[in-house]
Structure 1
């Protein structure tokens, strides 16, 4: 995804950007359904019904987020049981049913690339483009990189596996106008390492294995930082961001929604330039040091990144982050709906839950049935400047830039390998899997 208070509910800086939208309007514009009396009572999302309003799209996003964070009988949260990318691209041709997958999964995380099949032949974190990596501070974990994971729901998994689209030749020959089925959902998660003794009471935390970073050299002899797919370490991580991307009736372009922990980063105050010498906020955030100037924030460290402590896996320089567009911008109605829905869900459905500390940043979509191979997805509706501060840190400064800037139906090329234009290219899981399988000699 391209790749940018009622106490403990909505950030003060976010509320300041509402301008002329009155608090009373924001509170009544968009509410959680009355049947959502608790987290456990939230049903699975109704993907077979097309959203009929701006509010309905955002309700779908919250519905999906609440559904995946519900615990199962084994105590695991639903999203923890979903198919990983290793599952999706497994060479086991008989593994077509989600129910046959092992339920015990180890969360494996990397800095820029995800899962072992993506690391073959692509082990430099700087080869992800000029986006670099988010190295965060302040606090106990200052100098730590952020880590990522991805998975897909059963509908997505079984669609790909039953059609053998995990095989590069089958994916290449798929009809260009083939769409993902209704209910196919993919997820991307951002995690930060938790230090011993740290207060994590407002975060969802879990054990994970991280692939370690080390120094290497590129073909020109220049030092670079690489991911070692053979060296891992078990750590505790806290969830700080989630992309929720799914197909519902009449919307094969996916609804692109994103959530963040409420303390991730401040919003750029209304009227302040991203190059201002004024501070964005006077308080500490997870990814922003109090009183840092706007001009000194959101800097891409790709060309100057160093591994300063291999044992502790500490990097420099630290990146200060602000959110360029509160709730992803869009109309005043869009902003008011998200603010009101966040408050409704967090106070009514999630009262007393750790999940009340997470907020919907926004969602973006297009008009019904508006996908064609090689054609741009326009118009873009909802949060038209949507970004997640932990996933699109360096690409969020321009109005009107959102997920559809990168997620397109156009063809792609990597070296001598070419992928024709097709609707399913909207998913980078599929395009990356295709290109990396071929360039790795699979």
Structure 2
């Protein structure tokens, strides 16, 4: 029987352009990597700038092509996002982003206007709602659909939000309504009878505008001792666990943050992740003491019974450890317990050029910059709120060489096994049968749904760049929209790959 291989559905000319672009990058990989070469780790210089705190600003793009510049870009971005919106304000810049539940609203309602704080419909919430208040009922991690359980047997809660350019794009193109954007949601199944806009075919260049940012945050319910420790960024919130009718008001501590940024030179987005430094030890050194003192947040060295790490068990606290420090695939256990001596080895991880020009510079620069940031923040005057952010580390950051799309493995640069131990707890080493690095691009790529009822009919759909974001998996499927079968025609949507008429 002839084996039928699913193929992407786009024009020959478009496919040729993509193939030529990818092959040119792959062919030139050593020269591209050499341009990003850094000194050996013992001599690495990748420093923080005091201006990131004294005169915070949001960088418009990465200034240079070297690895350190990408790490600096993300730490500068982070330190800008955590600044107050105005002198004396308790609201941080990142807390002005619009949460997903303010965009994907119930049928018949319009998205929450920008600058207004939304409330979810499933709970009354506090009577005096202020910006920065966290609502969440999201507890299932991407990729596995399982929650992270802390030592108090509470779930970790998650939030997804976007900045104004991303908000304007989503609402301007009507993408908050399910029948408009369901084709961009790879994890959602179209309800029977739904006629959705075929975005991959109609708008193959649809993309978020430059300067768009998306955040994913991870929050734990703080115990009294954790709150008193003052090592977490904390805020008031209301969370709803599965099976509960309404929310409980709690103190929440930030344990993880993804920052995803689109810049003029990187249409694939730059994908960075920060963790609280006391989250968990390295799997290779679980006897280590927490760097901030106290206890590990998600690891119990005195665990009794079934204490398998990074494994979900109903009703039991998750024992978490970091499998690949700094997102370095050569640190820790390689996928499926393979090594570079295996036959065959994980080819990309074990390639000498990949290790020398991609993996080693990323690890060295992340480590060097982390120490530089800690030193800079520690030197701030007593009482400066920015000192708190020394308790967080940039532990992974990935992008593609020259901003190449699709983000195939051969063009990925940075922390090739980057994962957040509070958000990708169970897939830090990928999924079954994976042979090479597993990072943000393993899911956030341009692979759409399979079209066709049987394997020999299946055609893999090529998504437009807007499909890199998985925010559309949070769509309210009860909404409709786009009754004419096309996206709305307006200046915002047309400027970003939507209909021009």
Q: TM-score range by the shorter chain?
A: 0.7 to 0.9
Cα deviation for residue 433 of structure 1 reads 3.5
Tell me what 1:58 maps to. 71
Deviations along 1:51-92, whole A, 9 cap, x unmatched?
421111111111111111001233211111111112222468
Using a 3 Å threshold, how does the CA distance of structure 1 residues 92 and 45 change in structure 2: closer, same or farther? farther
- Equivalent of 1:437, from 452, 474, 477? 477
In the TM superposition, what is the alpha-carbon distance from 1:167 to its structure 2 partner?
2.5
Instruction: Show the 5 A alignment for 1:70-149.
Output: 70-73=83-86, 74-90=89-105, 98-99=114-115, 104-105=130-131, 106-112=133-139, 130-137=144-151, 142-149=152-159
State the shift of 1:205 in Å. Answer: 0.7
Partner of 2:301: 290
- Counterpart for residue 390 of structure 2: 356
Q: Tell me the residue number matched to 1:160.
A: 170
The aligned residue for residue 394 of structure 1 is 426
Correspondence 1:214-233 to 2 at 5 A? 214=243, 228=244, 230-233=245-248
Deviations 1:93-113 (A, max 9, x none): 876973466793431122425
Instruction: Kindly state the Cα deviation for residue 349 of structure 1 after the two structures are TM-superposed.
Output: 4.2
Contact residue 371 and residue 377 of structure 1 kept, 8 A: no
Mapping for residues 409-420 of structure 1, pairs under 5 Å: 409-412=446-449
Q: Distance in 2 between matches of 1:425 and 1:67?
A: 27
Instruction: Choose 1 or 2 for highest CA Rg.
Output: 2
Query: In structure 2, what is the Cα distance between the partners aligned to 1:71 and 1:367?
Result: 34
- Given that residues 68 and 78 in structure 1 are in contact (C-alpha distance below 8 angstroms), is that contact kept between their aligned partners in structure 2? yes
Indicate conservation of the 8 Å contact 2:446/2:462, yes or no. Answer: no
5 Å-filtered alignment, 1:188-267, equals 188-198=216-226, 199-214=228-243, 228=244, 230-267=245-282
Q: Is the 8 A contact 1:280 1:292 kept in 2?
A: no
Distance change in 2, residues 1:378/1:45 (3 Å): same
> 5+ unaligned residues in a row in structure 2: which ranges?
1-38, 119-128, 182-196, 329-357, 431-435, 454-459, 482-501
Contact 1:268/1:280, CA 8 A, preserved across alignment: no
Q: In the TM superposition, what is the alpha-carbon distance from 1:280 to its structure 2 partner? A: 5.0
Which of structure 1's runs of 4+ aligned residues deviate more than 6 A? 91-94, 100-103, 413-416
SS at match of 1:60: helix
Question: Counterpart in 2 of 1:32?
Answer: 48
1:332 aligns with 2:389: no
Shift of 1:248: 1.1
Q: Aligned pair count?
A: 359
Q: Cα distance, 1:290 vs. partner?
A: 2.3
TM-score by length of 1: 0.72
Unaligned segments of structure 1, at least 5 residues = 1-19, 114-124, 215-227, 271-278, 306-315
Residue in 1 aligned with 2:161? 151
CA contact (8 A) 1:346 1:356 kept: yes
The 1:86/1:403 distance shift into structure 2, 3 A limit, reads same
Aligned to 1:404: 441
User: In the TM superposition, what is the alpha-carbon distance from 1:33 to its structure 2 partner?
Assistant: 3.1
Q: Following the alignment from structure 1 to structure 2, what is the Cα–Cα distance between the partners of residues 200 and 265?
A: 17
Structure 2 length-normalised TM: 0.64
Q: Which of 469, 478, 482 is the equivalent residue of 1:427?
A: 469
Match of 2:124 in 1: none
RMSD value over aligned CA atoms?
3.2
SS at match of 1:58: helix
- Map of 1:385 onto structure 2: 417
